[in-house]
């Protein structure tokens, strides 16, 4: 069991192979809970040793092996391919997600976990993540759910710009500290759920509508298309 210590304590139950079974938390905002699940999700994995009788595990020799898994992370259920190898200090596991989370998108997700045998823990995690919007994907309709208005210009023939997001993350173990108040952890108003961020409702920002309307009215510019010879 790992803990994030704060005003609202968050903890999660993790198996020795990295599979996160449950998270425990008090009632709090969706965006805060999603962030905490994302941090915990960096450790989520399904690590299998080369001697385990895992279905489909292939021992390639020279201290290297590979296997496929079905698992649940903060992004949800997905398939993944693992390659692993022995190192001087322990084992290096490299996970590549093989199924898309968002339909019609182009995705790449790779997580490398460094297990240190002496400490008995994951002491370093590297993540590389990329996502490309589904503008050019087969079956994607950018006009879906839009008003059916006939175009009066050539905008309908324009190509939609492609949006790509790239990110890299690193989590490093520094030191461990004894928890003196472990018996004092809260027991009331504690909820439990999956590591999957399955619910997220964005809060609407508080906007002074009257003030914004005055700003718009004072800065509005009207453009009229007139013939070259005038009216």
- Tens of pLDDT, residues 86-131: 999 999 999 999 998 887 788 999 999 999 998 888 999 999 999 8
Q: Is 39 a domain residue?
A: yes
The per-residue pLDDT for 155 is 53
Mean pLDDT of 29-46: 91
Q: Assess whether pLDDT exceeds 70 at residue 222.
A: no
CA 124/CA 45 separation, integer angstroms: 13
Q: Is 204 a domain residue?
A: no
Q: Assess whether pLDDT exceeds 60 at residue 170.
A: yes
> Side by side, which strands form the sheet with 90-97?
58-61, 64-73, 76-86, 90-97, 106-116, 121-132, 164-172
Q: Is 176 a domain residue?
A: yes
Domain count, the chain: 1
More confident residue, 131 or 225: 131
The per-residue pLDDT for 227 is 65
Q: Where are the alpha helices (DSSP H) in the chain?
A: 30-41, 209-219
- The closest of 58, 53, 104 to 81, measured between CA atoms, is 58
Q: Is 108 a domain residue?
A: yes
In residues, how long is the chain? 231
CA 195/CA 37 separation, integer angstroms: 6
The per-residue pLDDT for 71 is 94
CA 189/CA 138 separation, integer angstroms: 46
Question: Bridge-partner residues for 164, per DSSP?
Answer: 132
**What range does the domain containing 70 cover?**
2-198
Least confident of 41-55, 73-87, 89-103, 180-194: 180-194
pTM beyond 0.85: no
CA 15/CA 77 separation, integer angstroms: 17
Q: Is 221 a domain residue?
A: no
User: Whole-number mean pLDDT of the chain?
Assistant: 82
Q: Assess whether pLDDT exceeds 80 at residue 174.
A: yes
Q: Assess whether pLDDT exceeds 70 at residue 47.
A: yes
The token duo for 103 is 């339909």
Q: Assess whether pLDDT exceeds 80 at residue 148.
A: no
- The closest of 35, 18, 171 to 95, measured between CA atoms, is 18
Q: Is 229 a domain residue?
A: no
The token duo for 139 is 């079956």
Q: Is 9 a domain residue?
A: yes
The per-residue pLDDT for 20 is 94
Burial tier of 68 (Cβ tally within 10 Å: 0-12, 13-18, 19+): middle
Mean pLDDT of 140-155: 64
Least confident of 55-64, 132-141, 185-194: 132-141
Question: Bridge-partner residues for 115, per DSSP?
Answer: 91, 122
CB 193 within 8 A of CB 23: yes
């Amino acid at each position: 069991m790992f803990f994030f210590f704060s005003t609202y304590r968050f903890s999660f139950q993790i198996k020795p192979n990295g599979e996160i079974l449950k998270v425990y938390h008090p009632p709090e905002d969706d965006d805060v809970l999603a962030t905490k699940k994302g941090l915990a999700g960096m450790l989520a994995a399904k690590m299998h040793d080369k001697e385990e009788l895992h279905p489909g595990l292939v021992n390639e020799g020279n201290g290297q092996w590979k296997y496929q898994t079905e698992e649940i992370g903060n992004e949800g259920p997905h398939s993944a391919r693992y390659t692993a190898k022995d190192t001087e200090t322990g084992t290096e596991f490299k996970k590549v997600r093989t199924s898309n989370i968002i339909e019609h998108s182009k995705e790449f997700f790779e997580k490398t976990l460094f297990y240190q045998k002496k400490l008995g823990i994951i002491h370093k995690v590297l993540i590389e993540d990329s996502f490309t919007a589904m503008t050019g994907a087969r079956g994607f309709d950018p006009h879906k759910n839009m008003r059916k208005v006939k175009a009066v210009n050539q905008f309908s023939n324009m190509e939609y710009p492609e949006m790509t997001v790239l990110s890299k993350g690193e989590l490093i173990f520094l030191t461990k500290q004894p928890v003196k108040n472990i018996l004092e952890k809260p027991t009331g108003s504690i909820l439990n759920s999956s590591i999957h961020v399955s619910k997220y409702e964005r809060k609407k920002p508080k906007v002074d509508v009257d003030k914004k309307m005055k700003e718009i009215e004072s800065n509005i510019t009207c453009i009229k298309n007139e013939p070259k010879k005038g009216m």
